[in-house]
Amino acid sequence: MENAVTDAPILVAIDGPAGSGKSSVSRAAAERLAFGILDTGAAYRALAWTALETGTDLDDPAAVEMLLAAWRYETALRGDARVLVRVPGHVEADVTAAIREPDISAQVSRVSKHPGVRDGLNAMFRRIVADSGLPGVVIEGRDITTVVAPDAPVRILMTASAEVRAHRRAGELPGLSHEHVLADIEARDAKDALVVDFFTAAPGVTTIDTSDLDFDGSVDAVIAVVRGAQNELADSASAANGDTP
């Protein structure tokens, strides 16, 4: 298979609800594949953080779109997972830790519900991937398999039961009870699901249910789907070249 860094990167699109394992499993899978990783939820979180910081009304689509036009977002697709944001003349910050705070989780759906904001961020995501110079990129979020990269050769819906997802999240948020975390993620998923469907696999999308998988098992499941798609791509490339098997 042609895989030179000058080609468009192979995309591995992963969607799913909060706590299904998207970010952490995608990051580990990308590492093993020597691919980049783009966590699109981090960008939505960082935009919500910037809106709060600059006194922008998160419910006003025009205000958030105006902010987005001036907004600079920096994150590396390999290695360092830091997230930096800048609005010239207003704010410049490393928001890596701040965007994971429960307050941002509670507010982020207020910016992600605006179609114009989604279009702007989606254009940014496509640009980041196209300019990456990497052989492949894992891109994860809520609408990657359906809107951002519907033609990706690998598309995965990562799910897990609400109980399991809340248990995982509660493990990361000491001080918050399982019930509290469960109620929070169910409320956020319900709001997000009004805008994009990340509970049902679109045609051609492979579902990986991580409820009964440990972390390494989940990474292995993603790698197996990617390897299967790579083999299919290689087979169709050799068939197109007229190679004999």
Ligand X SMILES: Nc1ccn([C@@H]2O[C@H](COP(=O)(O)OP(=O)(O)O)[C@@H](O)[C@H]2O)c(=O)n1
Ligand Y SMILES: Nc1ncnc2c1ncn2[C@@H]1O[C@H](COP(=O)(O)OP(=O)(O)O)[C@@H](O)[C@H]1O
Known binding positions for ATP: 16-24
Among 214, 241, 242, 244, binds ligand Y (CB under 6 A): 214
Among 179, 204, 215, 234, binds ligand Y (CB under 6 A): 215
State the distance between the two ends of the chain, measured CA to CA, in whole angstroms: 14
Q: Could you tell me the CA-to-CA distances from 140 to 34, 75, 109, 245 in Å, in that order?
A: 16, 14, 17, 35
Residue showing tokens 């951002």: 148
Kindly tell me which of 134 and 173 has the beta carbon lying closer to ligand X: 173
Kindly tell me which of 21 and 136 has the beta carbon lying closer to ligand Y: 21
CB 23 within 8 A of CB 195: no
| 10 beta partners | 136
Binding residue positions: 16-24
Q: Could you say which of ligand Y, ligand X, none residue 112 binds, taking C-beta under 5 to 8 angstroms by partner kind?
A: ligand X
Torsion of Cα atoms, 8 then 9 then 15 then 19, to 10°: -150
Cα–Cα dist 96/98, whole Å: 6
Cα–Cα dist 41/189, whole Å: 13
Structure tokens at 148: 């951002």
Contact map string, positions 6 to 25, toward ligand X, x by CB under 6 A? ------------x---xx--
Structure tokens at 16: 């799913």
Candidate segments 78-86, 106-114, 152-160, 219-227, binder of ligand X by CB under 6 A: 106-114
State yes or no: residue 41 binds ligand X (CB under 6 A). Answer: yes
Instruction: Specify the length of the chain in residues.
Output: 245
State yes or no: residue 168 binds ligand X (CB under 6 A). Answer: no
State yes or no: residue 159 binds ligand Y (CB under 6 A). Answer: no
Which amino acid, 57? Answer: D
Min dist CB 100 to ligand Y, Å, is 9
Sheet harboring 72-75: ordered strands across? 72-75, 83-87, 91-94
Q: Could you say which of ligand Y, ligand X, none residue 10 binds, taking C-beta under 5 to 8 angstroms by partner kind?
A: none
Question: How many residues line the site for ligand X (CB under 6 A)?
Answer: 17
Contact map string, positions 123 to 162, toward ligand X, x by CB under 6 A? ------------------xxxx------------------
State yes or no: residue 210 binds ligand Y (CB under 6 A). Answer: yes
Kindly tell me which of 122 and 230 has the beta carbon lying closer to ligand X: 122
Min dist CB 238 to ligand X, Å, is 35
Cα–Cα dist 183/119, whole Å: 29
Cα–Cα dist 133/49, whole Å: 29
Among 10, 11, 21, 146, binds ligand Y (CB under 6 A): 21
Return residues touching ligand X (CB under 6 A). Answer: 18, 22-23, 40-42, 44-45, 108-109, 112, 141-144, 188, 192
